[in-house]
Each structure stands twice: as structure tokens, then as C-alpha cells.
Amino acid sequence: MDALKASERDEMLERAMARHQYAGEALIEILHTAQQLYGFLSRPLLERIARGLKLPPSKVLGVATFYHLFRFAPRHPHSAVICLGTACYGAGACDLLAEAQHCANLDSERWTIETVRCAGACGLAPLVVLDDQPCARVSPDALAEFFRRTK
């Protein structure tokens, strides 16, 4: 994504909309494509998609904000995604979230903290995905250590 020029990303998004014949029914797929190309969904990008698909901007924003996997700000170089599903929650995910937020606040330019409702790995609870690597049965101390090591 970073290696692509803005004009190349714009062209790829336009091709994706054309491939779907600018149909509003392809909105979610177009939003996914846009996020892959640009890293996140900015307000001007959402407005461009609305114009391209001939949809009201409010509908595009409503769909984008309804689904949890869409981002509206760029990610920092490191990320921690904490699962808050039932099994993870019961195994201490709230403590992990508090620890991650505390550690990220100490280095806020480098960390993006996110949550998911369920990562689909209940047998590994509590699960944290650190820099795109799933980590099972994480304790708050182990999470803090990961943050300290990742400078």
C-alpha cells in the first residue's frame, strides 16, 4: 500500500467501482477495497465513494460506521487488537484492554489499540493480536512486557 502513488490508488479504486458497475449493492466490498488501498477511510474518500456509487453520503458513512472493521484514522506502526468476546472477556480481556491503553498512552505515536467483539478463537482466551500475530492466553504482565520490548 505505501509503495503505491496516490494516483495509482485512485485508479485502482475507480477500477474496483467500475468492475461492480458502480452498483450500490457493492458498497461494503468497495469500502474494503478502499481501506486496503488507503489504509483507512477518510471523509473525502467516503464522499468520493458516495459520488461514484451514486449513493447519499449519509448511507456510505452509516454503513462504514456500522461495521467494526473499518478504520477512520491511520494506524500507527504497531497495533494491539484485544478480543472482547465472551470467552476472552471472562478470561480477563478487560484487564488486558486497560493495560494496553495504559502502555499505548506512554507511546501514543507508535500504537493503535483496537477491540473486536470476537476473534473466533475462544479456546485461546484471552486473545490479543499484536502486530498481526495472534497471542493466546495473554496476561497483563506479558502484554506490558511486549509493549516494553517493542520500541
CATH fold of 6-66, please? Arc Repressor Mutant, subunit A (1.10.10)
Q: What is the pLDDT of residue 106?
A: 84
Q: What is the pLDDT of residue 145?
A: 93
Arithmetic mean of pLDDT over the chain: 93
Please classify residue 84 by burial: count the beta carbons closer than 10 Å to its beta carbon, then call 0-12 exposed, 13-18 middle and 19+ buried.
middle
Mean pLDDT value of segment 96-103:
94
Q: What is the pTM of this model?
A: 0.67
pLDDT in tens, 23-56: 999 999 999 999 999 999 999 999 999 999 999 9
pLDDT in tens, 65-77: 998 779 898 888 9
The pLDDT confidence band at residue 123, using thresholds 50, 70 and 90, is very high
Q: How far is Cα of residue 148 from the mean position of the Cα atoms in its chain? A: 23
The pLDDT confidence band at residue 58, using thresholds 50, 70 and 90, is very high
pLDDT in tens, 6-22: 899 999 999 999 999 99
Cα dihedral angle (108, 110, 113, 114), rounded to 10 degrees? 130
Q: What is the pLDDT of residue 2?
A: 57
Q: How far is Cα of residue 28 from the mean position of the Cα atoms in its chain? A: 14
- CA neighbor of 138 nearest in space, from 99, 86, 110, 103: 99
Q: Cell numbers of 91, please?
A: 478470561
> Rounded to an integer, what distance in angstroms lies between the CA atom of residue 14 and that of residue 32?
13
Q: Cell numbers of 37, please?
A: 488501498
**78-149 has CATH 3.40.720.10 classification:** no
Residues of the chain with CATH 3.40.30.10: 78-149
Residues of the chain with CATH 1.10.10: 6-66
Pinpoint the alpha helices (H) of 54-125. 57-66, 86-90, 93-106
